[in-house]
């Protein structure tokens, strides 16, 4: 990454993009001829189009190293904005300044030549991004490995599925050491394991100091990944600030009844994100009923989805300990990767010691697709009956049993074995995304977010309007 760049990576000033919308195809021709004719004949020229602002007078600056999320309803101008930042579209007015090598993952279809093979497109794309042929050759294997599309790399991209297309496009974008990475929703096309791999890589790119501009409809992803968020609506920037309040305002807007949306929009602009005080509900408005026990989860006949795979990655590996045979099982020992909410499950792995280790511990954690650590456990400070040191040649069997508290979705395990060092720890072997599992959909779900805390709501009407 270049270090001699100005502090701001992106600077937009008064940027607008207008489109002329013609109701009928012949209006376009009329617009070319009629105004001139009318002028010649001394008549006032008239317009045969309406002027539509896809983006209207947008200003913002993204500092180097910032991760900024853009959120907004469909058609709010997010993609148009990104395309202007990437130089694919010219603004109708205003200025766009970009400092650094920009790699973009825009909507499907942009960037690749359909008749070229994947390999040819990698070289073409990398050249557009400023890499020499030698530099691309040196990176080609890691690009192909990341894309993981097998022999399709030598087929024309017009034969690709949308998932394969995104895999290759993403593999190129993140392997060119961009100063600025622009991602437009494209990730949602890949499967969960690939999305997880991409988010892990985005995190790495972010840690290396690159600037990231990210368009997403997912409020959770924006809050998790971004330092700042921008709310776009109707082509204008409504709000720019801390991700959480910005996302809350987006959700207010998107979930509001269409009649209220205009008022909410105005409130957001005038209050700049601070929601107006809602009157406190009367105490009797919401009653909490005693919690009901989770029903016993039945084991399914097909508890394994073979297509649900993770891409394990050694985060730390000293060679002293080797973790192997990581599996997720029911209490009865049946391997699973599809589980019910509340189901008892056992994460199991084995660890072979190649050297003597004292103060040894085993640990696990569960992460979301975007990489947020939800919870974990470690044998570091507890469990006096467990072995706490190992000799070369020892093999441990490690089990973490728990009731799955997660809401439906795909999650990933990280597993580790290490040595406790005072308050800290050193990992001898730590595998990120060692295993993936899916919590199955449940139609009667009350919980929102990632964890079901067993909340039982009960709402009762305490007054009925006379109307």
User: In the window 55-114, what residues touch ligand ATP (CB under 6 A)?
Assistant: 72, 74-80
DSSP tag of 451: B
The Cβ of residue 32 has, within 10 Å, a number of other Cβ atoms equal to: 10
Q: Which two tokens stand for residue 426?
A: 């050193």
User: In the window 146-165, what residues touch ligand ATP (CB under 6 A)?
Assistant: none
Residue 371 CA to residue 412 CA, distance in Å, equals 9
Query: Could you tell me which of 316, 346, 321 has the C-alpha nearest to residue 334?
Result: 346
Query: Could you tell me which of 166, 158, 162 has the C-alpha nearest to residue 183?
Result: 166
Query: Could you tell me which of 371, 66, 73 has the C-alpha nearest to residue 241?
Result: 66
* Collapsed DSSP state (helix, strand, coil) of residue 156: strand
Site string for ligand ATP, 423-452 (x = CB under 6 A): ------------------------------
Asked whether position 460 contacts ligand ATP by CB under 6 A, the answer is no
Q: Taking the complex as a whole, how short is the minimal distance between the CB of residue 238 and ligand ATP, in angstroms? A: 12
Query: Could you tell me which of 390, 381, 438 has the C-alpha nearest to residue 413?
Result: 438
Q: Taking the complex as a whole, how short is the minimal distance between the CB of residue 10 and ligand ATP, in angstroms? A: 17
Q: Taking the complex as a whole, how short is the minimal distance between the CB of residue 189 and ligand ATP, in angstroms? A: 13
Which run of H or E residues covers position 213?
strand 211-215
52 vs 375 by CB, closer to ligand ATP: 52
250 vs 437 by CB, closer to ligand ATP: 250
Q: Taking the complex as a whole, how short is the minimal distance between the CB of residue 105 and ligand ATP, in angstroms? A: 14
Q: Taking the complex as a whole, how short is the minimal distance between the CB of residue 54 and ligand ATP, in angstroms? A: 3
84 vs 149 by CB, closer to ligand ATP: 84
Q: Taking the complex as a whole, how short is the minimal distance between the CB of residue 251 and ligand ATP, in angstroms? A: 15
72 vs 190 by CB, closer to ligand ATP: 72
54, 225, 347, 398: which one contacts ligand ATP (CB under 6 A)?
54
80 vs 343 by CB, closer to ligand ATP: 80
201 vs 265 by CB, closer to ligand ATP: 265
Residue 193 CA to residue 4 CA, distance in Å, equals 36
**Hunting for tokens 């072997």 — which residue is that?**
429
Q: Taking the complex as a whole, how short is the minimal distance between the CB of residue 22 and ligand ATP, in angstroms? A: 10
The radius of gyration computed from the CA coordinates of the chain, to the nearest angstrom, equals 27
80 vs 360 by CB, closer to ligand ATP: 80
Residue 427 CA to residue 357 CA, distance in Å, equals 11
CB-CB contact of 205 with 181 (8 Å): yes
6, 14, 19, 33: which one contacts ligand ATP (CB under 6 A)?
19
Task: Name 233's Cβ contacts closer than 8 Å, sequence gap at least 6.
Answer: 72, 73, 76, 253, 265
DSSP tag of 223: H
457-459/286-288 β-pairing: antiparallel
251 vs 291 by CB, closer to ligand ATP: 251
Q: How many residues bind ligand ATP (CB under 6 A)?
A: 11
72 vs 111 by CB, closer to ligand ATP: 72
344-353/395-403 β-pairing: antiparallel
Q: Taking the complex as a whole, how short is the minimal distance between the CB of residue 428 and ligand ATP, in angstroms? A: 46
Site string for ligand ATP, 23-52 (x = CB under 6 A): -----------------------------x
Site string for ligand ATP, 211-250 (x = CB under 6 A): ----------------------------------------
Q: How many CA atoms lie within 13 A of 58 on its CB side?
A: 38
The CA-CA-CA angle for residues 116, 119, 121, to 5°, reads 50
93-98/211-215 β-pairing: unpaired
Q: Which two tokens stand for residue 445?
A: 């779900």
54 vs 253 by CB, closer to ligand ATP: 54
211 vs 218 by CB, closer to ligand ATP: 218
Q: Taking the complex as a whole, how short is the minimal distance between the CB of residue 72 and ligand ATP, in angstroms? A: 5
Q: Taking the complex as a whole, how short is the minimal distance between the CB of residue 20 and ligand ATP, in angstroms? A: 8
Residue 425 CA to residue 427 CA, distance in Å, equals 6
Query: Could you tell me which of 374, 379, 378, 363 has the C-alpha nearest to residue 434?
Result: 363
Q: Taking the complex as a whole, how short is the minimal distance between the CB of residue 130 and ligand ATP, in angstroms? A: 26
Helix, strand and coil percent figures for the chain, each rounded to 5: 25, 35, 40
74 vs 307 by CB, closer to ligand ATP: 74
CB-CB contact of 316 with 430 (8 Å): yes
Q: Taking the complex as a whole, how short is the minimal distance between the CB of residue 83 and ligand ATP, in angstroms? A: 8
Binding site for ligand ATP (CB under 6 A): 19, 52, 54, 72, 74-80
């Amino acid at each position: 990454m270049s270090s001699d760049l100005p502090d701001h990576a992106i600077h937009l000033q008064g940027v607008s993009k207008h489109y002329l919308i013609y109701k009928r195809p012949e209006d376009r021709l009329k617009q070319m001829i009629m105004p001139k004719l009318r002028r010649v004949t001394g008549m006032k020229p008239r317009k045969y189009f309406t002027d539509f602002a896809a983006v209207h007078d947008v200003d913002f600056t993204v500092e180097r190293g910032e991760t900024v999320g853009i959120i907004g309803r469909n058609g709010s101008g997010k993609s148009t904005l990104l395309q202007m930042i990437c130089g694919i579209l010219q603004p109708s007015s205003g200025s766009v300044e970009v400092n650094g090598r920009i790699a973009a993952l825009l909507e499907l279809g942009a960037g690749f030549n359909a008749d070229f093979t994947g390999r040819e497109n990698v070289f073409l794309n990398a050249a557009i991004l400023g890499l020499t042929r030698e530099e691309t050759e040196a990176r080609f294997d890691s690009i192909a490995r990341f894309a993981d599309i097998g022999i399709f790399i030598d087929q024309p991209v017009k034969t690709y599925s949308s998932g394969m297309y995104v895999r290759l496009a993403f593999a190129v974008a993140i392997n060119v050491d961009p100063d600025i990475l622009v991602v437009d929703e494209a990730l949602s096309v890949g499967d969960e394991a690939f999305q997880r791999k991409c988010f892990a890589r985005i995190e790495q790119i972010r840690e290396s100091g690159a600037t990231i501009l990210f368009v997403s409809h997912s409020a959770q992803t924006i809050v998790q990944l971004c330092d700042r968020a921008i709310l776009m609506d109707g082509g204008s920037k409504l709000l720019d600030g801390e991700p959480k309040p910005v996302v809350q305002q987006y959700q207010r807007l998107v979930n509001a009844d269409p009649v209220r949306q205009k008022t909410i929009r105005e409130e957001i602009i005038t209050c700049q994100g601070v929601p107006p005080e809602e009157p406190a509900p009367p105490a009797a408005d919401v009653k909490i009923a005693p919690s009901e026990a989770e029903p016993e989860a039945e084991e399914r006949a097909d508890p394994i989805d073979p297509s649900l795979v993770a891409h394990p990655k050694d985060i730390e590996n000293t060679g002293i300990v080797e973790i192997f045979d990581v599996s997720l099982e029911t209490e009865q020992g049946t391997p699973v990767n599809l589980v019910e909410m509340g189901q008892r499950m056992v994460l199991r792995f084995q660890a072979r010691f190649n050297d003597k280790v004292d103060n040894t511990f085993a640990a696990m954690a569960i992460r979301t697709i975007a990489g947020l650590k939800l919870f974990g456990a470690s044998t570091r400070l507890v469990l006096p009956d467990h072995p706490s040191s190992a000799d070369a040649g020892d093999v441990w069997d490690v089990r973490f049993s728990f009731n799955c508290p997660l809401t439906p979705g795909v999650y990933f395990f990280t597993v580790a074995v290490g040595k406790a060092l005072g308050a800290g720890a050193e990992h001898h072997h730590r595998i990120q995304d060692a295993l993936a599992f899916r919590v199955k959909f449940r139609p009667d779900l009350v919980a929102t977010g990632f964890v079901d805390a067993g909340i039982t709501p009960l709402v009762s009407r305490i007054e009925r309007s006379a109307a």
